[in-house]
Structure 1
């Protein structure tokens, strides 16, 4: 696995700063003002701006204890968006720097959702579209075959969706602005609510939330107050995946600031998800892709010496109980011998660094 030259890693960081400046200015123009508000015991930043009717609109910004957000609030000013320069940087990163541009449809979908406020409202991009960003985060070249996708998966914690007191514009309108053939997908349970949308070519956008209770509720979509009328399907193990996500860049047009899972969590989560796939049809294809992505991230984490990060994520998942342990064991059993040995060595090094004992998923 080849490393990405430091020049391009630095360029990606600069692109991220510029893109965040542009997104911040678009969301929060200079004529408005930031205010703090308490919601159910938690403190959040909001942005107040006058509307055309002389009233006031309020937008959710983020938690007061997020240092990056609070610093931006304190130093708030309107900054010029150098879009053409960012486009050139994206082209350089993808043509020369070894990073992968998002496919046009995924990029357009994420761009529309980001402009609507998805990541401001603490949505998290998951799945293969998120995996596309890990080359930049880890500084390694990932094979293009592992990055191909025909869907975009979005996650949001239900409590966050309920508490932010803000919402995206209607999801269907955002998607149809990209492709007018997008339609809601009837839910398999027969519920009237839709958690997925698909266009005429089969590209699917799905919304998910964590499920920490009984699997009896796995087929019950939940209304998500912040998702512009979309519901979200509960997904087991998702709370682990989207805990402590990270901001990075999706390389599309001038770059899009997105929030994705920590790569160590993604790698461990994919082992568990793979263990729950069936052995036939599309489920088997997705299972193989899960294992491939997990293995590539284990290799990248090893190469970049992030053994402690991996050990911490792995230990957290392992300590959640027998169902998690079984998932990790079954998923790890699908790795080839070289991949198992790499994972074993990485976990041993990580255990030494964090000063804890790590139980291996295989003997």
Structure 2
């Protein structure tokens, strides 16, 4: 696996800063002001902006103890946009630097959701579109065959959606600005709520959330007050994936600041998901992609000396109990022999660095 040249990694960092500046300028224009509020004993920042009718409209910003947010509040008036320069950076990173850009539909959809406030409201981009960000995040070149997709998956924690007291604009309207043929997909449960939206070409946007306890919730869409009228399908194991996500850039147009799962979590989660794929329909193809993406990340994490990070999140998943262990064993058993050997090596190396024991999923 080839590394991305350090020059382009530096350019990506610059693009990330400029894109974040631009996003904050768009969300929080100079005529508004930041206002602190205390909810259930914890301090949060909100943003008040004139509504044009003599009043104000309030937007959720985030926890006051987040250092990035605190710095943004301090620098609010100085943020500036540099659209043309950022587009040149994106072109250089993808055409010359070997980093990954999404297909136009995926990029436009993520951009529309980001502009609507998805990541400000602590949504997380997951699935293959998130995987496309890992080339730049890890500084490695990933093969195109592992990143092709026809859908976009978005996750949000259920408690966060209920507590932020803010919402995206109507999801249908955001998506129809990208493609007028987007419509809600009837839920399999027969509920009137929709957790997925699809256009005439079959491109699908799906919203997911963590399962809140028993499997009784799995077949029922969860109401998500922050998602602009969209519900979300509860999924087991999702809370592990979206815990402690990271900020990065999706290389589309002038760069889109996004939030994605931490790569080690994504890799372990892919093994778990692969073990639960159906054996009919698109299940086998999706399972093959899951395993391929996990294997590529194991290689990238080894190459970038992040074996300790992988071992930590692997142990976290393993210690959640027998069901998790069985899923990891089954997923790991699907890895081709060279990838399985690399996975063992990375886990053992990471455990040594962490000075802790580790139980391998291969019966050794």
Relative to the length of structure 2, the TM-score reads 0.99
Q: Which residue of 2 aligns with 1:43?
A: 43
For 1:311 and 1:262, locate their aligned partners in 2 and report how far apart those are by CA, in whole Å.
13
Asked whether the equivalents of residues 39 and 163 of structure 1 are also in contact (C-alpha less than 8 Å), the reply is no
For 2:167 and 2:358, locate their aligned partners in 1 and report how far apart those are by CA, in whole Å.
42
For 1:216 and 1:107, locate their aligned partners in 2 and report how far apart those are by CA, in whole Å.
35
For 1:43 and 1:219, locate their aligned partners in 2 and report how far apart those are by CA, in whole Å.
35
For 1:328 and 1:212, locate their aligned partners in 2 and report how far apart those are by CA, in whole Å.
21
For 2:52 and 2:281, locate their aligned partners in 1 and report how far apart those are by CA, in whole Å.
54
Give the secondary-structure state (helix, strand or coil) at the position aligned to 1:174.
helix
- 1:4 and 2:4 aligned: yes
Give the secondary-structure state (helix, strand or coil) at the position aligned to 1:76.
helix
Asked whether the equivalents of residues 277 and 284 of structure 1 are also in contact (C-alpha less than 8 Å), the reply is yes
Asked whether the equivalents of residues 264 and 309 of structure 1 are also in contact (C-alpha less than 8 Å), the reply is yes
CA RMSD in angstroms comes to 0.8
Matches within 5 A, 1:206-217: 206-217=206-217
Q: Which residue of 2 aligns with 1:222?
A: 222
Q: Which residue of 2 aligns with 1:18?
A: 18
For 2:138 and 2:159, locate their aligned partners in 1 and report how far apart those are by CA, in whole Å.
30
Asked whether the equivalents of residues 29 and 78 of structure 1 are also in contact (C-alpha less than 8 Å), the reply is no
1:217 positional shift: 1.6
For 2:70 and 2:354, locate their aligned partners in 1 and report how far apart those are by CA, in whole Å.
30
Q: Which residue of 2 aligns with 1:272?
A: 272
Give the secondary-structure state (helix, strand or coil) at the position aligned to 2:81.
coil
Q: Which residue of 2 aligns with 1:354?
A: 354
For 1:2 and 1:134, locate their aligned partners in 2 and report how far apart those are by CA, in whole Å.
13
Q: Which residue of 1 aligns with 2:203?
A: 203
Give the secondary-structure state (helix, strand or coil) at the position aligned to 1:323.
helix
For 2:212 and 2:164, locate their aligned partners in 1 and report how far apart those are by CA, in whole Å.
21
1:236 positional shift: 0.5
Q: Which residue of 1 aligns with 2:93?
A: 93
What do residues 43-90 of structure 1 show as CA deviations (whole Å, max 9, x unaligned)? Answer: 211111221111111110011111111111122224331111111110
Asked whether the equivalents of residues 237 and 269 of structure 2 are also in contact (C-alpha less than 8 Å), the reply is yes
Asked whether the equivalents of residues 90 and 251 of structure 2 are also in contact (C-alpha less than 8 Å), the reply is yes
1:122 positional shift: 0.3
For 1:97 and 1:106, locate their aligned partners in 2 and report how far apart those are by CA, in whole Å.
21
Q: Which residue of 1 aligns with 2:242?
A: 242
Q: Which residue of 1 aligns with 2:324?
A: 324
How many pairs does the alignment contain? 363
Q: Which residue of 1 aligns with 2:70?
A: 70
For 2:102 and 2:85, locate their aligned partners in 1 and report how far apart those are by CA, in whole Å.
18
Q: Which residue of 2 aligns with 1:143?
A: 143
For 2:111 and 2:237, locate their aligned partners in 1 and report how far apart those are by CA, in whole Å.
27
Asked whether the equivalents of residues 212 and 237 of structure 1 are also in contact (C-alpha less than 8 Å), the reply is no
Matches within 5 A, 1:140-179: 140-179=140-179
Moved more, 37-46 or 170-179: 37-46
Asked whether the equivalents of residues 49 and 57 of structure 2 are also in contact (C-alpha less than 8 Å), the reply is yes
Matches within 5 A, 1:309-348: 309-348=309-348
What do residues 214-256 of structure 1 show as CA deviations (whole Å, max 9, x unaligned)? Answer: 1122101011000000000001100000000000000000000
For 1:69 and 1:355, locate their aligned partners in 2 and report how far apart those are by CA, in whole Å.
34
Asked whether the equivalents of residues 25 and 76 of structure 2 are also in contact (C-alpha less than 8 Å), the reply is no
Give the secondary-structure state (helix, strand or coil) at the position aligned to 1:75.
helix
Matches within 5 A, 1:47-66: 47-66=47-66
What do residues 283-305 of structure 1 show as CA deviations (whole Å, max 9, x unaligned)? Answer: 11100100000000000000111
Relative to the length of structure 1, the TM-score reads 0.99
Note the residue ranges of structure 2 that are not aligned, 5 or more in a row.
none
Asked whether the equivalents of residues 22 and 79 of structure 2 are also in contact (C-alpha less than 8 Å), the reply is yes
For 1:40 and 1:291, locate their aligned partners in 2 and report how far apart those are by CA, in whole Å.
42
Note the residue ranges of structure 1 that are not aligned, 5 or more in a row.
none
For 1:327 and 1:212, locate their aligned partners in 2 and report how far apart those are by CA, in whole Å.
19
